[in-house]
Amino acid sequence: MNISESELEKVLRLAPSPKAPAGLKEVLIAEAPLLVRRGPEPSFRDQAALGWLRRWWPAFASTMVSLACAAVLAAQQRELRELNHSLQSLSAHPASTQDVQATGEIATPQQPSPDRTSAGEQAEIERLKQLAAQFSSEVAQLEQLRLENEILRKRLATAGISGLSPAETEAMEKGRERALSIACVNNLKQFGLAVRTWALDENDGQPPNVLCMSNELSTPKILVCPAETTRQVATDWSVFTPANCSYEYLVTSGTNVAATEPTRVLSRCPIHGHVGLCDGSVQSSVAKEHLDWLVRRNGKLYFEPPPAASNPAPTNPGP
């Protein structure tokens, strides 16, 4: 049976078309993203490399951190060595101001040294040094006189020597007391000189206590009145205490007191009544014989004798 192509085509078109399974569209839509994301399967070599890396990466990470720390420490050690070398070079060969300026760095202006004083201050210092030497010689002479007086007093105390008359004994005792008074005046003059010398070195300030003038005072022995019998003399400054000082130090603060308040009482001897003034002079027996000449104002003690009064007490001008 011969069938033409046109007839065959008509038969095929009349054949029933197959129906798609139910839900096929939804399944295809759901599996579409998975098909897009899925890439090529890794090869066996790639899987082995990834497994080796997963096993050994903690060790590699710690090793890299250690190497980084070692590099940082090495850099810091190198910088420290360079700094130490620079400091040693500077301490061994300090650069002068000209060298610093030549390198282009900012040169710090040199401050005037406190030791550089004017010509007038140098002359004053030299004069004070001469007076200090003179006072030291006087101290030696007075010390010798004190020893001689001690010998004479011991002879008078012995029963074997009774050839002196009462008048001679009284005259000898008066001479002894006068010698002790002169030695006390000399001590106060040295004390005032030490205060002024300390003030020159400390911008005209006042020493706050006696101990800080240990460099200006030759010995702590001059701080005890020669007529003092109950106070112990300090052998040196290492054992000195306020109990080893007979004199009252009244001006422990202020600036340029010698120029602004020259008649202010600086020191006082409670035994003889001598007073030392801030200008360096010493007035004998004022606190005993002319107590009204000492005037207190604003908590400060001043020496103010009457203008018309003649002062019978000898005045010892200071430097």
Taking only the tens place, the pLDDT of each residue in 70-108 is 787 777 778 877 877 777 776 665 544 444 444 444 444
**CA nearest neighbour of 286 among 300, 267, 299:** 267
Q: What is the mean pLDDT of the chain?
A: 77
Contacts of 277 (CB under 8 A, 6+ apart): 192, 262, 263, 264, 265, 266, 283, 303, 318
Residue 223 is given by DSSP the state G
Highest-pLDDT range among 36-40, 66-70, 309-313: 66-70
- Give the pLDDT band of residue 282 (cuts 50, 70, 90): very high
Helix H segments across 93-165?
97-102, 119-157
Portion of the chain with pLDDT greater than 90, in percent: 29
CA-based angle 201:204:205, to the nearest 5? 95
What per-residue confidence (pLDDT) applies to 160? 47
CA distance 286 to 292: 9
What per-residue confidence (pLDDT) applies to 95? 46
For residue 200, give Cα distances in angstroms to 40, 207, 218. Answer: 98, 11, 17
pLDDT tens digits, one per residue of 49-73: 666 666 666 666 777 777 777 787 7
- Give the pLDDT band of residue 182 (cuts 50, 70, 90): very high
What per-residue confidence (pLDDT) applies to 7? 76
Q: 157 versus 96: which is more confidently predicted?
A: 157
What per-residue confidence (pLDDT) applies to 284? 92
Highest-pLDDT range among 8-17, 26-35, 121-130: 121-130
